[in-house]
């Protein structure tokens, strides 16, 4: 017993030491360069060559000489990390990358990053914003966190993108157990689905076009008609929430031969029709009448004249006066429950009923299946070029910081057959064709873009350097140079300088505060700090929401947050586990301190001029307080313009 009592404190102490060692261990077991995934195969190389050839042809036709490729591959490595993980690479990753001597190491590391859990989590959040927005919605019926977890799992398993989209549109069940249904419940409010919101989001998110304006009237600047929007909306008319979760409740109550429409005459209901409707559980009071829609009519509504609708009943239901919808479909005439139909202006003087329809490609809709299943098949149909163009444009935007077709918002692409913009969107068709040919593989799409010439160009063109030199130029020469720079940027002949998004800024600050990689394997405390700090920082910095790929300007409050914020202060302190403190402890010389700090913060080594300046400052400061000197250096690098831009 005394021995046991004596051993207990020792065991507790050993346990604490073990936990402490685990807390600061390297969280990512990086594979050695020799065993990293193999480089892209010949098929991928062929796709990349096709994209590069298309760009070369465009540049030659415009008389442009593209910028040279980035001199240091660490620049491209940083771009990849920001695009795929939302943060700069850790010192641990930089060392592993530099130890890889394979000439195709960028392709190998792209594949490694895509296989990392951080890619699935980060891209799920980015893509999820276009699918369910950023609002938390009604917690009882909508769980954004569960949706993002599900989407992350789909990306981790590399599920075909078209299948992911079909699951979102056709999902059934409870939103916690079947998270794909949160795409639908995100539009649930006031005890009903907003069918218009679902139709608009479906086209924006999956087809990359905005038709919301056609909800109320024909689009004033595009070809979209109100009837087309209503037809798309009608595909969600059978959608409902019940005890089993999200489900479709078929609205068809009766079917007979189309020849029987002879009994559908405007005015009082024929007794034969009334009897059939009542037998099929359609509430048809004695005062109900038949109202034809269209000339000649292909639809009829059975309704109670407005003056006869009891006030309480009319106020209780949006379709109180419409009791049945009758429609010719093929060689059949069918009667439907109005609650399962898209009835426009119910109770008004002019009532319309929109049957499910699509604005183009009618033949892409299958004959059988629920309305949502038909819509999903139409959206993802192999001949629907809008589908692959939309995801190619969005993924390009996530890789570069702005969409390929930058003349409009990422979800406002022109039509594929628009002759005016055909040349400007040809690259999207090229990427889309390869995407379709390879089973809608999102990872391959990323790999093709990452290996393409535009992604690997330098961000500083010789023409821009002339402009920045301050050389005395004539007005004409200055104007010509500015026009050339604008054309270089428009044609992707230079890598664009793009301000980092808020989550990339805070992700980079967090990663720069640690020498080892922060990921899901990191200590619970580190991950908790990241979660809460990132959320608070993004909220305070300003979350652009669904418009995160639109160009934005920096603000004074944002700069002050990075300069004077409490979190910035914590990350730059030279503590025993922080990057500044550990660099001081492991570096044998001041030059090594400086180089390591630059690699950690900016993913590059200091230039000769920077080294000359900072070494003198550091040497003098280190004599007094090494930790304070490194803290000042980190603060300076955090607030450098270069830190908060992708380049």
DSSP string covering 471-521: ----HHHHHHHHHHHHHHHHTT-S---EEPPHHHHHHHHHHHT-SSPPSTT
Please check the confidence at residue 426 and state whether its pLDDT lies above 90: yes
Q: Are 634 and 571 in contact (CB under 8 A)?
A: yes
Please check the confidence at residue 205 and state whether its pLDDT lies above 90: yes
Closest CA to 174 of 193, 198, 149, 147: 147
Phi then psi for residue 319, to 5 deg, are -115, 40
Q: What pLDDT does residue 465 have?
A: 87
Distance in angstroms (rounded) separating the CA atoms of residues 577 and 570: 12
Does an H or E element contain 21, and which?
Answer: helix 2-23
Beta-bridged to residue 189, according to DSSP, are: 192
317-319-320 Cα angle (round to 5): 65
From start to end of 238-374, where are the E strands? 239-242, 245-248, 252-257, 267-268, 289-294, 297-303, 322-329, 332-336, 342-344, 352-354
The 8-class DSSP code of residue 173 comes to B
Query: DSSP letters along 187-235, please?
Result: TEETTEE-HHHHHHHHHHHHH----GGGGTS--SSSS--HHHHHHHHGG
Closest CA to 179 of 243, 128, 118, 130: 128
Residue range 27-52: average pLDDT? 66
Q: What pLDDT does residue 590 have?
A: 85
What are the pLDDT digits (tens) for 42-75? 899 999 999 999 999 999 999 999 999 999 999 9
Q: Are 30 and 96 in contact (CB under 8 A)?
A: yes
Q: Which of 71-80, 180-189, 613-622 has the lowest mean pLDDT?
A: 613-622
Q: Dig out the tokens for 260 from the structure.
A: 């029987």
What are the pLDDT digits (tens) for 601-647? 999 999 999 998 888 877 776 666 777 888 888 888 988 999 999 98
Does an H or E element contain 176, and which?
Answer: none
CA distances from 589 to 512, 579, 595, 596, 603 (A): 20, 16, 10, 11, 20
Round the average pLDDT of the chain to a whole number and report it.
85
Query: DSSP letters along 81-134, please?
Result: HHHHHSSPPPHHHHHHHHH---TTHHHHHHHHHHHSHHHHHHHHHHHHHHHH-S
Distance in angstroms (rounded) separating the CA atoms of residues 493 and 78: 20
Please check the confidence at residue 392 and state whether its pLDDT lies above 90: yes
Q: What pLDDT does residue 23 have?
A: 41
Q: What pLDDT does residue 523 have?
A: 60
Residue range 75-95: average pLDDT? 96
Please check the confidence at residue 333 and state whether its pLDDT lies above 70: yes
Q: What pLDDT does residue 587 have?
A: 81
201 or 279: which carries more pLDDT confidence? 201
Q: Dig out the tokens for 307 from the structure.
A: 């003056």
Please name the residue that has the structure tokens 């999902």.
171
- Four-point Cα dihedral 504, 509, 514, 516, nearest 10: 20
Distance in angstroms (rounded) separating the CA atoms of residues 140 and 445: 36
Q: Which of 349-358, 417-426, 453-462 has the lowest mean pLDDT?
A: 349-358
141-143-147 Cα angle (round to 5): 125
Residue range 363-381: average pLDDT? 95
Cα atoms in the 13 Å half-sphere on the side-chain side of 327: 18
Q: What pLDDT does residue 348 have?
A: 61
pTM for this model (two decimals): 0.87
Assign 468 to helix, strand or coil. Answer: helix
Q: What pLDDT does residue 11 have?
A: 54
């Amino acid at each position: 017993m005394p021995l046991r009592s004596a051993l207990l404190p020792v065991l507790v102490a050993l346990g604490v030491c073990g936990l402490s060692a685990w807390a600061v261990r390297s969280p990512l077991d990086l594979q050695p360069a020799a065993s990293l995934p193999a480089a892209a195969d010949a098929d991928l190389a062929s796709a990349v060559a096709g994209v590069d050839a298309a760009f070369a042809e465009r540049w030659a036709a415009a008389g442009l000489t593209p910028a040279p490729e980035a001199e240091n591959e660490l620049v491209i490595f940083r771009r990849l990390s920001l695009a795929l993980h939302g943060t700069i690479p850790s010192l641990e990753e930089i060392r592993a990358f530099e130890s890889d001597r394979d000439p195709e190491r960028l392709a190998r590391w792209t594949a490694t990053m895509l296989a990392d859990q951080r890619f699935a989590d980060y891209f799920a959040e980015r893509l999820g914003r276009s699918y369910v927005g950023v609002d938390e919605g009604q917690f009882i019926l909508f769980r954004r966190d569960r949706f993002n977890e599900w989407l992350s799992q789909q990306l981790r398993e590399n599920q075909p993108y078209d299948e992911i989209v079909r699951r979102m549109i056709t999902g059934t069940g409870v939103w916690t157990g079947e998270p794909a249904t949160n795409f639908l419940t995100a539009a649930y409010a006031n005890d009903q689905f907003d069918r218009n919101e679902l139709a608009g989001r479906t086209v924006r998110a999956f087809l990359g076009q905005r038709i919301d304006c056609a909800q109320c009237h024909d689009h004033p600047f595009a070809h979209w008609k109100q009837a087309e929007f209503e037809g798309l909306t009608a595909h969600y008319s059978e959608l409902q929430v019940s005890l089993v979760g999200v489900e479709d409740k078929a609205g068809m109550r009766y079917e007979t031969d189309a020849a029987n429409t002879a009994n559908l005459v405007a005015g009082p209901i024929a007794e034969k029709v009334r009897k059939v409707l009542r037998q099929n559980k359609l509430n048809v009071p004695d005062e109900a009448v038949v109202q034809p829609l269209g000339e000649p009519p292909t639809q009829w509504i059975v309704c109670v004249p407005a003056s006869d609708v009891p006030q309480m009943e009319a106020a209780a239901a949006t379709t109180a006066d419409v009791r049945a919808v009758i429609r010719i479909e093929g060689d059949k005439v069918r009667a439907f429950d109005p609650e399962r139909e898209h009835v426009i202006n119910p109770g008004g003087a002019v009532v319309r009923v929109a049957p499910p329809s699509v604005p183009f490609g009618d033949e892409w809709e299958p004959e059988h299946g629920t309305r949502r299943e038909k819509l999903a098949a139409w959206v993802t149909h192999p001949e629907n070029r809008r589908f692959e163009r939309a995801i190619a444009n969005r993924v390009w935007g996530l890789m570069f910081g702005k969409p390929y077709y930058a003349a409009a918002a990422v979800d406002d692409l022109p039509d594929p057959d628009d002759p005016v913009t055909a040349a400007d969107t040809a690259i999207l068709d090229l990427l889309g064709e390869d995407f379709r040919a390879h089973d809608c593989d999102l990872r391959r799409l990323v790999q093709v873009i990452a290996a393409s010439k535009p992604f690997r160009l330098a961000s500083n063109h010789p023409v821009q350097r002339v402009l920045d030199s301050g050389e005395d130029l004539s007005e004409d020469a200055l104007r010509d140079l500015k026009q050339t720079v604008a054309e270089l940027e428009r044609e992707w002949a230079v890598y664009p300088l793009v301000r980092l998004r808020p989550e990339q800024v805070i992700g980079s600050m967090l990663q720069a505060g640690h020498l080892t990689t922060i990921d899901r394997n990191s200590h619970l405390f580190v991950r908790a700090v990241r979660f809460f700090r990132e959320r608070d920082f993004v909220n305070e910095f300003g979350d652009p929401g669904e418009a995160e790929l639109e160009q934005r300007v920096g603000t004074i409050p944002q700069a002050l947050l990075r300069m004077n914020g409490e979190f910035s202060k914590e990350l730059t302190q030279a503590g025993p586990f922080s990057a500044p403190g550990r660099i001081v402890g492991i570096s044998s010389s001041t030059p090594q301190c400086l180089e390591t700090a630059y690699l950690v913060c900016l993913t590059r080594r200091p230039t000769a001029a920077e080294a000359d300046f900072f070494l003198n400052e550091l040497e003098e400061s280190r004599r007094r307080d090494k930790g304070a000197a490194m803290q000042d250096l980190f603060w300076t690098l955090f607030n450098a313009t270069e830190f908060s831009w992708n380049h």
